[in-house]
Amino acid sequence: MTSPQTFSLGSLVVRRVGFGAMQLPGPGVFGPPRDHDQAVAVLRRAVELGVDHIDTAQFYGPDVANELIREALYPYPQNLALVTKVGGRRDAQANWLPAQQPAELRHSIEENLRTLGVDQLAVVNLRLFGGDIGGPAEVDHGLF
């Protein structure tokens, strides 16, 4: 049952406000955070305050956001929904690149599972990357 403060996310009911992990990695969403311990503390505090879903992506860092989430919260609380996105990747120069072929999408899902240390994800969204935008386009299409 949902309320004005909650909504259905697949078979789950979560609060309308979750935690977006995009800013956990370093500047430009690339590399390690400036303060590793503070990033871990922020994640733990968010869950203590009632956050029940986290939006992340393997390409944040890359790997950095997911590894911080795993370090801070694993084993995950039973009510915590991990939501990720696929459809992009980062190169060594921190450029945002599309990765939207079926094999790339499958690989990205498998990398998210690996770095988060889980067998399944609550939701996987497809992020479309725009040509001249330089980063993710503002469009998500839920896959699962």
Three state DSSP letters for the chain: CCCCCEEEECCEEEECCCEEHHHCCCHHHECCCCCHHHHHHHHHHHHHCCCCEEECCCCCECCHHHHHHHHHHCCCCCCCEEEEEECEEECCCCCEEECCCHHHHHHHHHHHHHHHCCCCCCEEEEEEECCCCCCEEEEEEECC
Q: d(Cα 40, Cα 102) in Å, to the nearest integer?
A: 33
Residue with tokens 């990205």: 108
Single out the catalytic residue among 19, 30, 59, 60.
60
Is 60 an active-site residue?
yes
Kindly list the catalytic residues.
Answer: 60
